[in-house]
Amino acid sequence: MRNASRAAFGWLALAAGAIVYPLVLPGAFYIDVGTTLLLAAATAAAWNIIGGYAGQVSVGHAMFFGAGAYLPLLVYKLWQWPPIAGLPFGIVVSLVLAVLVGMPTFRLQGHYFSMATIAVAELIRLVVATAEPLGAAIGLQGPAVGRGVWDLTFRSGLPYYYLFLALLAMVLATSWWLQRSRLGFYLRSLRASERAARSLGVPVRRCKLLALMLSAAFTSAAGSLYAVKTGFVDPESGLGILVSVQMIIVAALGGAGTLFGPVLGALILIPLQTLTNTYFGGEGSGLTYILYGGAILLIARFEPGGLLDLVYRARGLFAKPAPSSEQSRHAA
Amino acid sequence: MLLEASAVTKQFGGFRAVSDASISIDEGEIVGLIGPNGAGKSTMFNCLSGDLPPTSGRIVYDGRDVTRASPEAHARLGIGRTFQVPVTFEDMTILENVMVGAFLRHAGRNAAHAAAMDILEMTGLAPIRDRPARSLGTPGRKRLEIARVLATRPRLLLLDEALAGLNANEIASAIQLVRAIHARGITLIVVEHVMEVIMSLAQRVLVFNQGRVIASGAARDVVQDAEVIRAYLGQTQWIAAAPAAAVP
């Protein structure tokens, strides 16, 4: 109980900090960094549903992000609708993609799913990069000037900051509910052992597919918000492999399969990335790859459970007396 | 008749792990499954629990053909199992492990929690329920596996060497647990190497050798059976060779 209330207090403090942040540091730069951070946390938290809790490492989540990013600008290009109207279409396309990728690969265990997601995402990127109706290599653009409220073009970055914060809150609330629900227990059990999970009646394939669909829908929504904010998407920014890799690294750095992990990962990685970008300018974009590569190596070698695991273990060292007293009670 | 397997064969390439085995189990029995290493006991278990579909033969449980049903369908129908090498969900707590089982019959978290707590009390794991499963040693893991599958409310429970590797004290308490499970009205099939365990638990024993059922009956009679002794001591060639050498 005490742990639960302490966690609730931590979340409240974090939410308060996130709400107040742009008011305390009101510069456009800070708001932009904050928005980037929230986007990274939201997509990583969405990835975490299938990649973390269920342990099915997707390396192709860019396909969902890209579907979410392209559809709003496509409905604008085709019918001059407000881009945000494309959000539900993005989700529908993402759900269809999730089923197409998940149905055949979730019969298999291990790395087949990861490989299939890379392959499909890269295939989609290549197809989109040559498809004229989708802007080919140049990409798609939104309205240059806002035509009304629904185009969501704002003078300041502040509204988008709060939109992304709301999205992150939704993903985290869903993850929290998931953790406590039957589906969440089933996902964690099948991550540990599909064979044992099935022996207890866990419908493994259906659970994995549901998790992937949930994860895809949120990733797609994040992509849509991103495209509506930026008013522009091209194959690299919407469907590039870096988009997928960033979600994995942010989640894994903080702690995959935990509620707070993706947020912690974004809090560390995004400021770091911003620093390298400001110090090295345009030539520093290659540095992002090096940063990601280094992060992967360090996590895989030293902390496969992510930084949160490290924190828990450190806390366990200090809290040693508790379990032993329980043990003696058991013996008595 | 709760379970009837007729002429079950499981072939791996050219190797017949189980060959034409027929067994039948009545509701309320404790049946021991014994035999030397590699006799096909575990493969038979995997066929009975849906883990491996048999190459041929038919398995009927409670009047339904379950020969090719999936493991999760077996669990739903009330056939539970443990594994020879325990497979616990390492990162989850002991309570959460058992709740995974309990969720099969209870969709809601609170109901699953309550059902899991009942099982934890019964199996003696309640005081350590908040520890991660990975903190347990082999005896604890075996107990946790039993608790987890009990939470699925099985009618028929297949225990695969649930007592192997335990010391005398642990075996005594495990035997008690198996008796308590049986007292709840659960039918049991127990694979076991330790003969004294089988003798004290099983009303009926089936002996496997080279994929076949070579003997069946009360535990006391079966251990006297000449073929069983031969299977265990491997004296077939010895006995055959000795007179041949003496003839000339």
Mean pLDDT of A159-176: 95
Mean pLDDT of B22-38: 91
Q: Is B112 an 8 Å CB contact of chain A?
A: yes
Give the whole-number percent of chain B exceeding pLDDT 70.
Answer: 94
Whether B103 and A182 have beta carbons less than 8 Å apart is answered as yes
B-interface mutation test, from A176, A193, A200, A328, most B Cβ less than 10 A away? A200
Q: Please give the Cα distance from B58 to B6 (Å, whole number).
A: 5
Whether B40 and B17 have beta carbons less than 8 Å apart is answered as yes
- Of the candidates B72, B107, B109, which has its C-beta nearest A202's C-beta? B72
For residue B109, the chain A residue with the least C-alpha distance is A181
pLDDT of residue A318: 64
3-state secondary structure chain A: CHHHHHHHHHHHHHHHHHHHHHHHCCCHHHHHHHHHHHHHHHHHHHHHHHHHHCCCCCCCCHHHHHHHHHHHHHHHHHHCCCHHHHHHHHHHHHHHHHHHHHHHHCCCCCCHHHHHHHHHHHHHHHHHHHCHHHCCCCCEECCCCCCCHHHCCCCCCHHHHHHHHHHHHHHHHHHHHHHHCHHHHHHHHHHHCHHHHHHCCCCHHHHHHHHHHHHHHHHHHHHHHHHHHHCEECHHHHHCHHHHHHHHHHHHHHCCCCCCHHHHHHHHHHHHHHHHHHHHHHHHHHHHHHHHHHHHHHHHHHCCCHHHHHHHHHHHHHCCHHHHHHHHHHHC
Distance of CA A38 to the CA centre of its chain: 10
pLDDT tens, A122-153?
Answer: 999 999 999 988 988 888 988 877 777 778 77
Burial of A296 (0-12, 13-18, 19+ CB in 10 A): middle
pLDDT tens, B170-198?
Answer: 888 888 999 999 999 999 999 987 777 88
The residue that leads in pLDDT, A22 or B242, is A22
Q: Does A77 have pLDDT greater than 80?
A: yes
Predicted confidence band at B231 (pLDDT cuts at 50, 70, 90)? confident
Pull the structure tokens for residue B198. Answer: 């089988």
Distance of CA B22 to the CA centre of its chain: 16
Pull the structure tokens for residue A326. Answer: 């329980």
- Of the candidates A185, A191, A197, which has its C-beta nearest B99's C-beta? A185
Whether A140 and A78 have beta carbons less than 8 Å apart is answered as no
Mean pLDDT of B208-229: 83
pLDDT of residue B230: 76
Inter-chain contact A181–B81, Cβ cutoff 8 Å?
A: no
B76 CA: distance to closest CA in chain A (Å):
6
B42 CA: distance to closest CA in chain A (Å):
15
Residues of chain A in contact with residue B89, where contact means CB-CB under 8 angstroms, are 188-189, 192-193, 196-197
Q: What is the mean pLDDT of chain B?
A: 88
Q: Does B206 have pLDDT greater than 80?
A: yes
Sequence-separated (6 or more) residues with CB below 8 Å from residue B96: A185, A188, B89
Pull the structure tokens for residue B43. Answer: 């493969």
Residues of chain A in contact with residue B148, where contact means CB-CB under 8 angstroms, are 200
Distance of CA A2 to the CA centre of its chain: 30
Sequence-separated (6 or more) residues with CB below 8 Å from residue B71: A195, A198, A199, B49, B50, B51
Inter-chain contact A195–B71, Cβ cutoff 8 Å?
A: yes
Mean pLDDT of B213-233: 80
CA geometry: angle A235, A236, A241, nearest 5 deg:
110
pLDDT tens, A195-228?
Answer: 999 999 999 999 999 999 999 999 999 999 999 9
Q: Is A196 an 8 Å CB contact of chain B?
A: yes
Whether B164 and B6 have beta carbons less than 8 Å apart is answered as no
Q: Please give the Cα distance from B227 to A159 (Å, whole number).
A: 83
Inter-chain contact A195–B51, Cβ cutoff 8 Å?
A: yes
ipTM for the complex shown:
0.89
CA geometry: angle A106, B156, A186, nearest 5 deg:
30
pLDDT of residue A280: 72
Whether A60 and A101 have beta carbons less than 8 Å apart is answered as yes
Radius of gyration of chain B (CA): 19
Residues of chain B in contact with residue A197, where contact means CB-CB under 8 angstroms, are 89, 100
Pull the structure tokens for residue A135. Answer: 């802007």
Q: Does A34 have pLDDT greater than 90?
A: yes
Strands (DSSP E) contained in chain B are 3-12, 15-25, 30-34, 56-61, 64-65, 79-81, 156-160, 187-191, 204-209, 212-217
A133 CA: distance to closest CA in chain B (Å):
46
Inter-chain contact B72–A193, Cβ cutoff 8 Å?
A: no
Pull the structure tokens for residue B94. Answer: 């002991």
Inter-chain contact B103–A182, Cβ cutoff 8 Å?
A: yes
For residue A177, the chain B residue with the least C-alpha distance is B109
For residue B49, the chain A residue with the least C-alpha distance is A199
pLDDT of residue B241: 42
H or E segment at B231? helix B226-233
Question: H-type helices in B39-160, by residue range?
Answer: 41-48, 71-77, 94-102, 109-123, 138-150
Q: Which of residues 241-280 of A touch B (CB under 8 A)?
A: 257
Inter-chain contact B72–A198, Cβ cutoff 8 Å?
A: yes
pLDDT tens, B113-164?
Answer: 999 999 999 999 999 999 999 999 988 999 999 999 999 999 999 999 888 7
Residues of chain A in contact with residue B88, where contact means CB-CB under 8 angstroms, are 192, 196
Inter-chain contact B75–A200, Cβ cutoff 8 Å?
A: yes
The residue that leads in pLDDT, A278 or A52, is A52
Highest-confidence segment of A10-19, A208-217, B37-46: A208-217
Q: What is the mean pLDDT of chain A?
A: 87
Q: What are phi and psi of A202, to 5 degrees?
A: -80, 120
Each domain of chain B, given as residue ranges in start order, spans 3-246
Sequence-separated (6 or more) residues with CB below 8 Å from residue A246: A40, A43, A44, A269, A292
pLDDT of residue B248: 41
Q: How many other CB atoms are found less than 10 A from the CB of residue B81?
A: 26
Predicted confidence band at A282 (pLDDT cuts at 50, 70, 90)? low
- Of the candidates B100, B127, B128, which has its C-beta nearest A200's C-beta? B100
Q: Does A1 have pLDDT greater than 80?
A: no
Q: Is B40 an 8 Å CB contact of chain A?
A: no
- Of the candidates A201, A257, A326, which has its C-beta nearest B75's C-beta? A201
Mean pLDDT of A54-72: 96
H or E segment at B174? helix B168-183
Residues of chain A in contact with residue B80, where contact means CB-CB under 8 angstroms, are 199-200
Could you say which architecture CATH assigns to the domain B3-246?
Answer: 3-Layer(aba) Sandwich (3.40)
pLDDT tens, B48-89?
Answer: 999 999 999 999 999 999 999 999 999 999 999 999 889 999
Q: Please give the Cα distance from B147 to B162 (Å, whole number).
A: 12
Residues of chain B in contact with residue A326, where contact means CB-CB under 8 angstroms, are 127-128
C-alpha closest to that of B74 among B54, B51, B56 = B51
pLDDT tens, A296-329?
Answer: 788 877 777 788 888 877 777 665 444 433 443 3
b/e per residue, A246-281, with b = 16+ CB within 10 A? bbbbbbbbbbbbbbbbbbbbbbebbeebeeeeeeee
A-interface mutation test, from B70, B85, B91, B120, most A Cβ less than 10 A away? B91
Q: Is A329 an 8 Å CB contact of chain B?
A: yes
CA distances from A65 to A94, A124, A209, A263, B161 (A): 8, 12, 18, 18, 49
Whether B190 and B33 have beta carbons less than 8 Å apart is answered as yes
pLDDT of residue B234: 61
